Copies of this chain bind each other. A is one copy, B any other.
Amino acid sequence: MEQFSVRTTSRCELVPVTAQVRSIVRNAGVESGACVVFCPHTTAGLTINENADPDVARDIVYMLQKLVPADDPGYRHLEGNSAAHILASLVGSSVHLMVENGGLKLGTWQGVFLVEFDGPRTRKVWVQVIGT
């Protein structure tokens, strides 16, 4: 298992981490297999989406915050970041990627993103490369 850190700069944002994951896969010496990227935090997640137009990431953040408002009279958790926990469970804590010819195999427009829901913070990302 390898890991790297990401410094997020706002409360809710998508931070591209494809380059870091690609580099770990290339150095792993695995020709064919799988790569799992895991977020060890409960107010952040991981997702795969478009890495071409940054407005896609921006619109994802916009709508997720609209769907699950930061403030809701029904929340009870005293830390005040219930929305971040809820969104982490909706987006998910890990992504599974394929490895071929020693490199990460993604669709043409796909990138991997850490999704911050309670930033700014320093986040850790765990990466596991499995194969032969």
Report which A residues bind B (CB closer than 8 A). Answer: 1, 32-34, 36, 38-42, 47-50, 53, 55-56, 58-60, 62-64, 66-68, 72, 74-79, 82-83, 85-86, 88-98, 100, 105-110, 115, 124, 126, 128, 130
Q: A53-B77, A60-B82, A66-B74 are in contact. List 17 more A-B contacts (CB 8 A).
A: A36-B98, A40-B106, A41-B107, A42-B49, A42-B56, A48-B89, A53-B78, A55-B77, A58-B76, A58-B77, A59-B75, A59-B76, A59-B77, A59-B82, A60-B86, A63-B75, A98-B126
Copies in the complex: 3
Q: Which B residue's beta carbon lies closest to that of A57?
A: B85
Known: A59-B76, A85-B56, A86-B60. A93 touches B48 (CB 8 A): yes
CA gap between A76 and B54 in the complex, in Å: 10
